[in-house]
């Protein structure tokens, strides 16, 4: 199995030359310590940890999986030791406030860390990743006592965290949640119910696990308006920063899954467990969205990560494996056949992976700047600033999660295809990437749910198309500035057409949906994918513009690096971006072709 190599050159290209993170950090109230030297040191040390510690556990963890014995979950061999190194390195508190034991660095630095960890070993990265969401929720919505009790051990990594939403009778439709929370005389609650699909629900990596649980108070309103949020620890805190008696929380079973087998996905039973209300009564879903947005951005990494990992392994294989002769003539005459990389169709697959990995990384890093400003707004007590950047990020979140995970899964399959029959064999690791990546389009809201959130909620209901107009104006202003350079003109002209089309499509759907409410659901997936392709086109144009400038004026890397960026941008625009037009055509198709067939006539089996 090939090993993971952190793409530091590409990461630094985005950080220093495309998005100018050094200047960005200087503009943040919590960015003073994020100097270029510090950031470089963090990236380098994280790369070493991922390459030398996490990557070697990727395949062995899949082979062994997690085990449930006598009510306790154990992780695969090597995971406890790796997690201890993670804790010792202070990685969990990288972006947490200093007053709770963190390093106080901007949120984006934590995302760069998550990308490398997730690419090297997604199953491992989920354990600390779920804790980050719990930390954010408690920090923003917890009382002073809750922050003092839970945030320090979570920041140190001694305790882990989860989110407990889904139940057997409901998935995304959380209005059907049945878990009950009965108030007690001491101000606590007794939480009773069953939650399913709980990542990191139980494990042996931390001394305690803090569950963030959705439940209903007695006489709460029906539906989503009657859901509250609770902190339910595995062990009750002892008041001195340690753990006390065992709470009424247990793992009923481990899910038998297609992939991410080294990540413990649990059925969790709450049997009169002691819980503590976090946030206002019946507003748990609003508080949980802090957690969900964090989780969805994190899940978007699982689109970029597998594209990168599968590309690295497929590229190495394509350089070494020989089959037939290239149609344009012998490329390796000293051998009986040419390397796979000389065949145009193999190049198509490899370049698709490369374009998705690097374009997706740019989308993440673009969004990370918005997240930095949002967090800074919260830290400064500037609710207006935090809300403004939350809205900007909220528009991009479903695009990042939905589009990138769909293309990440496609890229993982392409890597397996490059290997041919060997890709189907477990020892080469390619089929594991496919299995592990499949979940990314499902959890934290399926692609369909992300699409409805984007079109139905963010675009139509909340902004009446304003979110699209604001973002496309930014793209169009960038594109106009590129028209004077003949190398950039093709990219710029295409972007200008696409921004106009994006707005026109939005208006047409908005008008048509007044007469046909099914149209929003029918068009949503195509609208999301169209939005994703245009957003990635914007990122590739920005990278191309920097490459052109550095080729003319000199940059941090060799000319070959910048020429490769330009070539990949051209590939994306010529080969992948045309897919957007198919989505544009499909989203305006009448709903009749979806809804006219009677449900009872979908199949005739008798």
Query: Quick check: 192 pLDDT over 70?
Result: yes
Confidence of residue 291 (pLDDT cuts 50, 70, 90): low
Residues 6+ apart with CB under 8 A from 287: 137, 140, 141, 229, 278, 279
**Is 242 in contact with 263 (CB distance < 8 Å)?**
no
**Is 66 in contact with 255 (CB distance < 8 Å)?**
no
Closest CA to 205 of 372, 78, 103, 350: 78
> Tens digit of pLDDT for each residue in 164-179?
999 999 877 888 899 9
Query: Quick check: 290 pLDDT over 70?
Result: no
pLDDT value, residue 379: 86
**Is 212 in contact with 134 (CB distance < 8 Å)?**
yes
Tell me how far apart the alpha carbons of residues 106 and 96 are, in angstroms, rounded to a whole number.
Answer: 8
Residue given tokens 């997936």 in the structure block: 525
Confidence of residue 3 (pLDDT cuts 50, 70, 90): confident
Mean pLDDT, to the nearest integer, of 94-117?
A: 95
Q: What percentage of the chain has pLDDT greater than the value 90?
A: 90
pLDDT value, residue 294: 61
Tell me how far apart the alpha carbons of residues 142 and 277 are, in angstroms, rounded to a whole number.
Answer: 9
Query: Quick check: 420 pLDDT over 80?
Result: yes
pLDDT value, residue 2: 65
Q: What is the mean pLDDT of the chain?
A: 95
pLDDT value, residue 286: 84
pLDDT value, residue 429: 94
**Is 301 in contact with 114 (CB distance < 8 Å)?**
yes
pLDDT value, residue 245: 97
Question: Helix/strand/coil (H, E, C) string of 268-324?
Answer: EEEEEEEEEECCCCCCHHHHHHHHHHHHHHHHHHHHHHHHHHHHHHHHHHHHHCECC
pLDDT value, residue 287: 84
Size (the chain), residues: 606
Query: Quick check: 350 pLDDT over 90?
Result: yes
Q: What percentage of the chain has pLDDT greater than the value 70?
A: 99
Q: Which residues are catalytic?
A: 444
pLDDT value, residue 590: 93
pLDDT value, residue 1: 62
Confidence of residue 295 (pLDDT cuts 50, 70, 90): low
Specify the DSSP element, H or E, that contains 535: helix 518-553
SS3 content of the chain, % helix, strand, coil (to 5): 60, 10, 25
Question: Phi and psi dihedrals of 556, rounded to 5?
Answer: -80, -10
Mean pLDDT, to the nearest integer, of 435-451?
A: 94
For 595, 596, 598, 599, the CA distances from 604, given in Å and listed in that order, are 18, 16, 12, 11
pLDDT value, residue 292: 62
Q: Which residues pair with 246 in a beta bridge?
A: 235
Q: Which residues pair with 211 in a beta bridge?
A: 162, 232
State the number of CA atoms in the 13 A half-sphere of 591 facing the CB: 14
Specify the DSSP element, H or E, that contains 583: helix 579-587
Query: Quick check: 33 pLDDT over 80?
Result: yes
For the chain, list the domains and their CATH numbers: 8-289 (2.40.110.20), 292-445 (1.20.140.10), 451-593 (no CATH)
Choose between 470 and 296: higher pLDDT.
Answer: 470
Confidence of residue 241 (pLDDT cuts 50, 70, 90): confident
Specify the DSSP element, H or E, that contains 222: none
> Tens digit of pLDDT for each residue in 543-578?
999 999 999 999 999 999 999 999 999 999 999 999
Tokens of 495: 């972007």
> Tens digit of pLDDT for each residue in 131-173?
998 998 999 899 999 999 999 999 999 999 999 999 999 877 8
Strands 208-215 and 159-164: parallel
> Tens digit of pLDDT for each residue in 494-539?
999 999 999 999 999 999 999 998 999 999 999 999 999 999 999 9
DSSP-assigned states of every residue in 219-246: TPPSGGGG-EEEEEESEEE-SSSSEEEE
Least confident window among 103-112, 183-192, 272-281, 284-293: 284-293
């Amino acid at each position: 199995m090939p090993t993971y190599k952190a793409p530091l050159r590409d990461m630094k290209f985005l950080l220093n030359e495309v998005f100018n993170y050094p200047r960005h950090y200087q503009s943040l109230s919590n960015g003073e310590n994020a100097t270029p030297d510090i950031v470089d040191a963090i990236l380098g040390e994280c790369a070493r940890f991922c390459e030398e510690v996490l990557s070697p556990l990727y395949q062995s963890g899949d082979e062994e999986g997690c085990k449930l014995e006598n009510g306790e979950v154990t992780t695969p061999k090597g995971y406890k030791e790796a997690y201890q190194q993670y804790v010792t390195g202070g990685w969990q508190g990288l972006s947490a406030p200093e007053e709770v034991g963190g390093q106080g660095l901007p949120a984006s630095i934590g995302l760069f860390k998550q990308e490398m960890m997730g690419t090297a070993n997604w199953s491992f990265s989920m354990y600390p990743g779920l804790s980050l969401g719990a930390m954010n929720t408690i920090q923003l919505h917890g009382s002073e006592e809750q922050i003092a009790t839970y945030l320090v051990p979570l920041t140190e990594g001694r305790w882990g965290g989860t989110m407990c939403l889904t139940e057997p009778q409901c998935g995304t439709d959380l209005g059907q949640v049945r878990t009950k929370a009965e108030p007690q005389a001491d101000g606590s609650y007794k939480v009773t119910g069953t939650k399913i699909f709980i990542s990191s629900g139980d494990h042996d990596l931390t001394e305690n696990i803090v569950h963030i649980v959705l439940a209903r108070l007695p006489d709460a309103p029906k539906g989503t308006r009657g859901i509250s949020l609770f902190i339910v620890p595995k062990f009750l805190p002892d008041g001195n920063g340690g753990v006390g008696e065992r709470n009424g929380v247990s793992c009923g079973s481990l899910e038998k899954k297609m992939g991410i087998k080294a990540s413990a996905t649990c059925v969790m039973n709450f049997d009169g467990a002691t819980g503590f209300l976090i946030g206002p009564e019946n507003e748990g879903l609003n508080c949980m969205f802090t957690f969900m947005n964090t989780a969805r951005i994190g899940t978007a990494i699982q689109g970029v990560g597998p594209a990168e990992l599968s590309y690295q392994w497929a590229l190495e294989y394509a350089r070494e494996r020989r089959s037939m002769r290239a149609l344009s003539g012998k490329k390796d005459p000293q051998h009986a056949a040419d390397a796979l990389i000389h065949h145009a169709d193999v190049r198509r697959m490899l370049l698709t992976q490369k374009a998705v990995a690097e374009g997706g990384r740019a989308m993440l890093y673009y969004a990370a700047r918005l997240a930095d400003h949002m967090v800074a707004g919260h830290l400064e007590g500037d609710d207006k600033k935090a809300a403004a950047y939350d809205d900007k990020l909220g528009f991009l979140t479903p695009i990042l999660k939905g589009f990138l995970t769909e293309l990440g899964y496609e890229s993982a399959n392409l890597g397996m295809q490059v290997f041919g029959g060997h890709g189907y064999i477990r020892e080469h690791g390619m089929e594991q990437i496919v299995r592990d990546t499949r979940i990314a389009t499902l959890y934290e809201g399926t692609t369909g749910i992300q699409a409805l959130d984007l079109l139905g909620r963010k675009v139509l209901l909340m902004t009446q198309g304003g979110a699209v107009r604001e973002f496309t104006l930014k793209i169009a202003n960038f594109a106009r500035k590129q028209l004077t350079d003949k190398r950039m003109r093709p990219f710029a002209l295409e972007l200008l057409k696409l921004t106009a089309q994006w707005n026109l499509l939005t208006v047409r759907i908005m008008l048509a949906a007044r007469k046909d409410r099914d149209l929003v659901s029918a068009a949503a997936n195509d609208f999301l994918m169209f939005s994703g392709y245009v957003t990635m086109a914007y990122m590739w144009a920005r990278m191309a513009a920097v490459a052109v400038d550095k080729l003319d004026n000199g940059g941090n890397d060799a000319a070959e690096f910048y020429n490769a960026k330009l070539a990949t941008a051209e590939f994306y625009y010529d080969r992948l971006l045309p897919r957007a037009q198919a989505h544009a055509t499909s989203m305006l198709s009448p709903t009749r072709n979806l809804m006219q067939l009677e449900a009872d006539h979908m199949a005739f089996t008798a």
